[in-house]
Amino acid sequence: MFNFFAVMLLLVSFASVADSLPEVRLGVLKYGTVNWEVDVIKHHKLDEKYNFDLKAIQLGSKNASAVALQSEAVDIILTDWLWVNRQRSNQKLYTLFPTSIATGGLYVPETSTVDNLADLRGQKIGIAGGEVDKNWLLLQAYSRKKYGFDIKKETLPNFTSPPLLNVLMLRGELAAAINFWHYGARLEAQQFRLLVTVPQMLAELDIDADVPLLGWVFEETWAQQNPDKISRFLQASLEAKQILYSSDAEWERIRNLTKAENDSVFLALKKAYRAGLIQEFGARELKASEQIFSVLAQQGGQALVGQATSLDAGTFWTFDKRELTPLPTSDNDSDL
C-alpha cells in the first residue's frame, strides 16, 4: 500500500474554541462527489477540530460555482486549474490547492475487437465534457504521436451528457467513450475496459508525473488576508480524504450519498475515488503541469486556455509553503 501524502502547512497556533467559530463558505454542486468529503468533515466534526465552521452552499452547475466565487458569495469552490490559469491571464487572481489527479481514459466494451486507436476509424466515439474535454484533447495528441492517426477527423465524435453517454455505451451505440471519473467507474462495473489510460497518454507525451486535475480554488488576496481559515480548511479536507482513503467502514456509512446502483458500482466508485487522490505535489508535478498546459493549449486553443500563453506562477497556491509528509495508511479500517 502506498502512502497518502498529507500536506503539513505552516504551523498554526489554534486558540481555544470560541462561542462563534470563523466561517468558511464552500460552494459545492448539489449532486457532486465533493459532498462525500463534506459529509465526512461534518460527521467527524473536523471543522470544529480545526476551529472553524464549514458552511456548504449548494449550487446548480459549474458555471454557478464560478459566479458564486467571483461575486464573493462563497470563499472556496472545487474546479480545475486551467480555469484558474485562464482567470489569472485576465488579472483575476484566483489560485488552486490540488486535490486530485487526471485518471480514466478511453473505454470500450469488454468484447470489443478494437486493439488500438486506429481500429476506431469511421466509428462513433462518445465524449462527455464537450470539445475541450481535457482527456479528449490528450487522446488526440496521444493518437497523433503514437499512431500518426487523427482521431478527431477519422472517427465520429459524439458530445453528450455523462449519463446519456453511459446509456449509449450500454446499448452498443458507441464504439468507445471518454467520461467523467465516476461514470467511468460505472462502466468498469459493467465490464467495460480501458483501451488506453490517461497515464499511458501522459507517458507517450513524455510527461513522467501525475498531473493535477481539480483542486480547491480561492481568491489569492482572501487567502493572504485569512491564513488561518485556509490552513484550517485544508487540514480538515486532508484528514477527511485520509479517512476515505483508509476506511471501508466510512464508505459504508456514506454509501447512500454515492448513489451506487449495486455492489459492483459501489466498489468501483470507492476504488476510483482512492486512485484519483493526489499523492504528492512538488516541483516534478509542477513541471508536468507546465508540459500538459502546452499540449492542451495546442489542442484546445483559446476556447480552452483563453489568452494565457503559459502556466502562471500563481496558478497553484505557493506549493513551496508546504512540506509534504507521508501519513501511515492501512489496508484495514481506521479506528474512527
Report field, pTM of the whole predicted structure over 0.85:
yes
Q: In 178-208, which positions are buried (b, 16+ CB within 10 angstroms) versus exposed (e)?
A: bbebbbbbbbbbbebeebbebbebbebbebe
On whether the CB atoms of residues 78 and 36 are closer than 8 A, the answer is no
Q: Are strands 156-159 and 124-127 parallel, antiparallel or unpaired?
A: parallel
On whether the CB atoms of residues 144 and 176 are closer than 8 A, the answer is no
Give CA–CA dist 227/10, Å, rounded: 10
Give CA–CA dist 18/219, Å, rounded: 26
Domain 4-101+212-327 shares a fold with domain 105-204: yes
Cell digits of residue 244 = 476515505
Output DSSP code: residue 244: H
On whether the CB atoms of residues 213 and 102 are closer than 8 A, the answer is yes
Hey, which CATH number is domain 105-204, 3.30.465.10, 1.20.120.530, 3.40.190.10, 3.20.20.140?
3.40.190.10
Query: How does pLDDT run along the chain (336 residues), one tens digit per residue?
Result: 334 344 433 333 333 444 589 999 999 998 899 999 999 999 999 999 999 999 999 999 989 999 999 999 999 999 999 999 999 999 999 999 999 998 999 999 999 999 999 999 999 999 998 999 999 999 999 999 999 999 999 999 999 999 999 999 999 999 999 999 999 999 999 999 999 999 999 999 999 988 899 999 999 999 999 999 999 999 999 999 999 999 999 999 999 999 999 999 999 999 999 999 998 888 899 999 999 999 999 999 998 999 999 999 999 996 544 433 334 444 444 333
Could you tell me the residue ranges of all domains in the chain? 4-101+212-327, 105-204
Q: Which CATH architecture has domain 4-101+212-327?
A: 3-Layer(aba) Sandwich (3.40)
Contacts with 336 (C-beta within 8 Å, 6 or more apart), sequence order: 44, 243, 247, 249, 250
CB count within 10 Å of CB 283 equals 10
